Structure 1
């Protein structure tokens, strides 16, 4: 077991000297920033390399640049020093005020419509809070990529080192335009859907399967049309439905505006369509920061209504 000597001030000073040398581009520049001699900076970095057992810099008489190990170590060190700085700021402000940079990753479309507005409103009430929001449908590694919080749609993986909190459910609705229904008839049962044009969400062979369709009898399933339209954008899917090109299965939060405007009509409202869960996920820490707690509380308080949940 390692003892507390692992975290001595000398070790932290070595890390500070290393980061300063990278940021300044030279040992001399780091010495100027830290108010030390160039020799003192070099000694601290040398002791750090000895403890780590790796070389952090390639050095020549004219230049220095990071090794691969040095680059990896630099990325981790800058994050640690930034967190220490933010911890000091929080304590000096009473440890209750959301402040510093909060990095959040979220799916593109639900992020734009339901998540970002809540976080921007939160930042508006806390001037010392800085936001960095990444919109991507890719499953991000929070710890590896340095995010404080993620919004995830769908079933969660059992990932160690992460905590989660339910944010709501994305109820799916079957919708079509009045023009499409006038031309093709209104389905009265789930089985009737097999004979209608389906607007599918997905990419290539990865299509979102409507929750109602797997229960269709074999005879009806055999007559099911091959989808003519496959789109990987929910806004475009709504537009296609409004143009009368077919029936779409879309989340309630996407459909609400069109249903209110009358450009889409909900079909088979009595048919239960299982929802897709939405969660907040963040790295497990003993004491979540005020900025993280404030963001979680704001999202849990506002997003269910934006999803159209009762």
Structure 2
């Protein structure tokens, strides 16, 4: 009898991860998994491009957003977290806090830009309903961590995943505004090729991610 599958976990496990979520949350868990199973060969590929799991030979992916099961892929939700509107205390001291969506026009904003366009923010209006807000800014950044750095330095308001700014908020470098209002929820999912028998190394990795990422939920 193999205790907890320790000796049975072997072979190659190829995993593709989005860069920031992978670096901050997922890769440390999978590195620990590899340490626990010396016969496991672990390949981690961090990239934000769309990856064809089957064509490129990946065993597992972690993807932002909910992913529906299909004929060729299976999925499992791993984590749901809010996106938070956050800012530094220095910025608030200098410029005050916006109270309404209309007030945002008088503030410096730090949107994420991709393919030459700023992504729409989904923020609560006066009735507490989430609405799309087109954001304009003199800053054009295509990296969420750089946006978090800019917000920490007092350069404006940022709308970011909680997992990315959690430690900054705990240290007091960033504070959340409108935290008592409805917020957009982000999900991440494990995705793998559909097959009759999922290898133990993949199944245990998915189970571990589900358990460990649960700890990233807000307390």
TM-score by length of 1: 0.63
Please name the residue that 1:198 is paired with: 109
Distance in 1 between the 2:105 and 2:68 partners?
33
Residue in 2 that maps onto 1:255 = 165
Number of residue equivalences = 210
Pairing of 1:144-223 with structure 2 (within 5 A): 144-156=55-67, 159-212=70-123, 215=125
2:77 aligns to what SS in structure 1? strand
1:1-310 residue pairs with structure 2 within 5 A? Answer: 97-156=8-67, 159-212=70-123, 215=125, 226-306=136-216, 308-310=217-219
- For residues 14-72 of structure 1, the C-alpha deviation after alignment (integer angstroms, 9 at most, x for no partner) is xxxxxxxxxxxxxxxxxxxxxxxxxxxxxxxxxxxxxxxxxxxxxxxxxxxxxxxxxxx
Q: Cα–Cα, structure 1 residues 160 and 97, in superposed 2: closer, same or farther, change >3 Å?
A: same
Higher helix fraction: Structure 1 or Structure 2?
Answer: 1
CA contact (8 A) 2:68 2:74 kept: no
Of structures 1 and 2, the larger Rg is shown by: 1
- Structure 1's consecutive aligned runs of 4 or more residues displaced over 4 angstroms after TM superposition are none
Cα distance in 2 for partners of 1:191, 1:138 equals: 35
1:235: Cα distance to partner? 1.4
Partner deviation per Cα, 1:109-164 (whole Å, 9 max, x = no partner): 10011000001111111111110000001121000000000011124366431000
Q: Distance in 2 between matches of 1:257 and 1:198?
A: 21
Higher strand share: 2
Give the RMSD, CA atoms, in angstroms: 2.3
- Unpaired stretches in structure 1, ≥5 consecutive residues: 1-93, 218-223
